[in-house]
Structure 1
Amino acid sequence: MRTRIALRTEQVAPLSPAQYSLWFLDQLTGPSSEYVQPYAYRLRGPLDTSALEDALNALVERHEPLRTRVDQVAGEPRQAVRRHHPRPLRRLDLSQDPARAGREAAAFALRPFDLAGEDPLRTLLVRLGQRDHLLVCSLHHICCDGLSLAVLGEDLAALYRAAAHGQDVGQALPPLPVHYRDTVLARARQADCPAGRPALARWRARLEGAAPLRLPTDRARPEVRTARGDRVEVVVPADVTSAARAAAARHRVTLYMVMLSVFAMLLHRRGGGRDLCVGTPVSGRSAPEEEALIGLFTNTVVLRLDLSDDRDLAELLHQVRGRALAAYQDGHVPFEHVVDELRPPRDLSRTPVFQVMFSFQDFEEDALALDGLRCTPWEIPVGSSKFDLELELGREGDRLRGFLEYSTDLYEAGTARGMADEYLALLREALGLPGDSPGGAADPVRSSDPSPEEPTR
């Protein structure tokens, strides 16, 4: 559903439903690094540090969410856009001890934010050598999503280019047609419209009565869920990726649907039950003018999959395709509204409605490109998990690469590694490729259903 957006001038606007959820969690559990998003690059070459400082200040001036805090008005949280005052770029010289860079960058990037008392963006420039630097940006998820990081990189590159050439950074990019708070106000009006009720009713029909995931765990589930987590790498080789693309073409589905279907088969085989709810993110940007904005647009939709029969890959793909398309059609309904509609039993030990997430992007993210510099991503492990499990995959050349993120309250590292390896083996099995079968089944596309129960709390 396309959102009609009018440019407004209010400096105070309500939080979006997703922002409200993050703020509420922050109030409930206190500030944490669970929703901190690091963005870091190593910059090799003749860096113009003054131009970088000017570019970062211009970036904050351009995108309001980077200078928006959460105030409370009559007890209700509100976006409060602050006037930007240029500030110096924080710097740290480690040229005499560059081995500390990883530790210092992680400590800086993962420090929790005070949503009411500070802007949701922090930046640090670490000097590693004469022509070697590390740029660390730390953002709270309340101000950005995955696509926002691509916008951040593109805009920062353009602004740095202008500043380095002595041009006015204020003229380096065309004015934004709308601001993030305008989109929030437009969506709030849309949510109040009676025309939105049928979509909410469809979500209720799809998800009502769904039970929590029954996947066995290594440890008893704590009474209150924490964000403690870790991740293991998952690499889908080029030959397997090519075979998956071919299968997607044969069955007239997307590569995303193939990879999700096999993930569902893995959860089923591991004892997750026959009625599976898997969350998956959608961009949430329904209007062309939103593409140039930094902000939290991402929404979550839930696919409820029926694995009650030993379905082969073709049958499961047909089901996933139908349910994914239906979910996309109603993807404009905020997940938070769906939860309010369903009113699941209060359970602090797990996330509502679904406990497993699948994220996939069939494109390569553009790396930061600053004029005259060689920019390479610098990974900062977050060390947290928002769900019991999340499989995140993305294109990297002719293969797929990503991570299986897991709650360390529930799973040992070896168990997570085993699940990741079994996913790759099951993918080969489902596609009819040579390789070890994780379950020893003769049929290359069917999954068993041991369905052991999760340990009692």
Structure 2
Amino acid sequence: MIPLSFAQRRLWFLAKLEGRNTVYNVPTALRLSGELDREALAEALRDVIGRHEVLRTVFPEADGEPYQRILPVEETGFELTHTEVAPEELAGAVAEAGRHAFDLGTEIPLRAWLFGSAPGEHLLVLVVHHIAWDGSSAAPLARDLSVAYTARAAGRSPDWEPLPVQYADYALWQRELLGDRDDPQSLLARQTEHWRAVLAGAPEELELPADHPRPAVASHRAHQVALDLPADLHAKLLGVAREHGATLFMTLQAALAVTLSRLGAGTDIPIGAAVAGRTDRAMDDLVGFFVNTLVVRADLSGDPSFAEVLGRVREAGLSALGNQDVPFERLVEELAPARSLARHPLFQVMLTVQNTARTAVGGGSVLALPGVRAVGAPAAAPAVAKFDLEVSVVESFDADGTPAGIRGSLIAAADLFEVGSVEVLVGRLVRVLELVVVDAGVRVSGVGVLGVGERVGLLEGLAGGVRGGGGVTLAGLWAERVVESPGAVAVVGDGVELSFGELDERAERLARLLVGRGVGAESLVGVVMERGVDLLVVLLAVVKAGGVYVPVDVRWPVERVGLVLGDAGVGWVVTSESCV
């Protein structure tokens, strides 16, 4: 019996655990204009299924273990379903097709529908289960479908060279390559130990600015919001990447990590990254699920500059690529994090950047059918949330190679986020990108993620929203100044120079400590300190915590200090070692 690849096995396990659903469906819709030969298209699709064994494979069980059963084409039951629909009913028909739930044990992982909506106008809908498909599968499928249709339309069979390997060969080769887990010299053992060290201490669950508590079981419902970066920002991002010896992916990951950190996610941000997994050229011509997932931690400790964060992300990314052979599914088993049906293991934020050529079949080479113009169309399938947050973008370039913009989306789990919050998060990520391309030397604490006035509104909300007919507060005025000029110099003294962002970050940390000690609205806090930068930090922190500071001149006699603090009813005192 032929085993599943490790990636396939995880999808099979999820299908058994969650039951038949559409979470891992990959729908594609193609608008076909012209004199389409329906019979030739049906035959061509059967030819493609015959050529790529994975598209005619089912996954039954024997003694509780799944295996690959490759069916002859004539036993697959495959057919191109043709239906005539009114134009106003087309979107609903396409959406219904995309909701097909595969039975992986008995049903091949490909379905196809052809909807006729007007003379010379058709919509081809292909739905493939992820267990037989990844993004790089689009190119060989488009190429082979084009060749087969051209041949069938001319009344002959496609004349192509047999594929040197099939997906089943890869599944067997993968196990041979990785070796025995009990052999310390095996690739599996060595790379697993690398990941064990790299992921030690990583947060099991990232603290994200969610609107709702995490449910016991994820529903996979999603909100999808467009994320579009204009050509000039695209070009600047590529420039920053080149300047620091990094890739666009690394630059976007660093910016995403900074954004999440500034929103309260901490300084250890693990983000998932997909790699093609096609480490041998023989795999380039295959349809199948080869992609592997890596975990890249972004270290933001010590208030580094963005350039330093990018350097850390670069090193972590290169290290991950050098140990990419261990399947993610095996890492989950080996590292055994706390399992949950509510969240993804090891990371909850995913970043995908595609910079391959576009295609009419989901990314790759263009579908070429004689006498027919094929154009990609919306598949009308609702977005699904496989992660808490998933940023997925595609680069585009002009004919001369000039950056033409980055287009994509942010998909967020509807269990956790309202759609308005997702829109705000997209805006904040774009704001961070616009800032770091101008000044890669800006420190994390100096990166403003909130728009002008937004932070003031949040502070007012926390304080009950009282502004007294348009009045202002010290905390509000300070917040506005930080947002407007986070990198500008705020204070110089004691041999220290702090920007508004840096001063704000220091005060924020102390404010959280004060709140933890019980300081709240109108709490009286005595401040016994020498004049200097630290004094400003303390005064600002007391205000941020909602308290009222009672400054005490350190030159006063001890008795007077005690009298003032006692008469005022001070409940807390902040001082320095030099004043004790």
Q: Distance in 2 between matches of 1:251 and 1:58?
A: 48
Q: Which moved more, 1:38-47 or 1:339-348?
A: 339-348
CA contact (8 A) 1:395 1:401 kept: yes
Q: Which moved more, 1:344-353 or 1:281-290?
A: 344-353
Q: Distance in 1 between matches of 2:4 and 2:374?
A: 35
TM-score in terms of structure 1 length: 0.91
CA contact (8 A) 1:426 1:437 kept: yes
Structure 1 partner of 2:487: 443
Structure 2 partner of 1:149: 138
- Residue 370 to residue 310, structure 1, CA distance change in 2 (3 Å): farther
Structure 2 partner of 1:429: 435
Task: Give the RMSD, CA atoms, in angstroms.
Answer: 2.0
- Alpha-carbon deviation of 1:187? 0.6
**Which letter does structure 1 place at the counterpart of 2:405?**
R
**Which letter does structure 1 place at the counterpart of 2:288?**
G
Structure 1 partner of 2:82: 91
Q: Distance in 2 between matches of 1:372 and 1:266?
A: 49
**Which letter does structure 2 place at the counterpart of 1:188?**
R
Structure-to-structure mapping, 1:277-356, within 5 angstroms: 277-356=270-349
CA contact (8 A) 1:13 1:79 kept: yes
Q: How many residues align?
A: 435
Q: Distance in 1 between matches of 2:121 and 2:341?
A: 46
Match of 1:202 among 194, 198, 209: 194
CA contact (8 A) 1:122 1:137 kept: yes
Q: Which moved more, 1:127-136 or 1:439-448?
A: 439-448
CA contact (8 A) 1:150 1:365 kept: no
SS across alignment from 1:271:
helix
- Offset from partner CA, 1:293-328 (integer Å, 9 cap, x none): 011100000001111132222111111111101000
Structure 2 partner of 1:188: 175
Q: Distance in 2 between matches of 1:98 and 1:344?
A: 50
Q: Distance in 2 between matches of 1:87 and 1:308?
A: 55
- Offset from partner CA, 1:212-254 (integer Å, 9 cap, x none): 1011211111011221113111111000001111111111111
- Alpha-carbon deviation of 1:87? 4.7
- Alpha-carbon deviation of 1:437? 5.7
**Are 2:423 and 1:391 equivalent residues in the alignment?**
no
Structure 2 partner of 1:37: 26
- Alpha-carbon deviation of 1:41? 0.6
- Alpha-carbon deviation of 1:365? 2.1
Q: Distance in 2 between matches of 1:267 and 1:442?
A: 17
Match of 1:246 among 229, 239, 245: 239
Structure exhibiting the larger radius of gyration computed from Cα positions: 2
- Residue 276 to residue 129, structure 1, CA distance change in 2 (3 Å): same
CA contact (8 A) 1:213 1:355 kept: yes
**Are 2:95 and 1:102 equivalent residues in the alignment?**
no
**Which letter does structure 1 place at the counterpart of 2:198?**
R
SS across alignment from 1:14:
coil
Structure-to-structure mapping, 1:170-185, within 5 angstroms: 171=159, 173-185=160-172
The ranges of structure 1 where at least 4 consecutive aligned residues each deviate by more than 4 angstroms after the TM superposition are 444-452
Q: Distance in 1 between matches of 2:26 and 2:298?
A: 30
- Residue 182 to residue 345, structure 1, CA distance change in 2 (3 Å): same
**Are 2:159 and 1:159 equivalent residues in the alignment?**
no
CA contact (8 A) 1:215 1:273 kept: no
**Which letter does structure 2 place at the counterpart of 1:438?**
V
Structure-to-structure mapping, 1:250-261, within 5 angstroms: 250-261=243-254
Asked which structure has the greater RCO (Cα within 8 Å, sep 6+), the reply is: 1
**Are 2:157 and 1:129 equivalent residues in the alignment?**
no
Q: Work out the percentage of aligned pairs sharing the same amino acid.
A: 36
SS across alignment from 2:8:
helix
SS across alignment from 2:264:
coil
SS across alignment from 1:286:
coil
Q: Distance in 2 between matches of 1:370 and 1:266?
A: 45
Structure 2 partner of 1:7: none
- Offset from partner CA, 1:318-364 (integer Å, 9 cap, x none): 11111101000111110111112211122332111100100011233
**Which letter does structure 1 place at the counterpart of 2:487?**
D
Structure 2 partner of 1:5: none
SS across alignment from 2:2:
strand
CA contact (8 A) 1:214 1:273 kept: yes
**Structure 2 residue ranges without an equivalent (≥5):** 361-366, 398-403, 440-446, 451-482, 489-498, 513-580
- Residue 410 to residue 443, structure 1, CA distance change in 2 (3 Å): same
Q: Higher helix share goes to which structure?
A: 2
Q: Distance in 1 between matches of 2:120 and 2:99?
A: 26
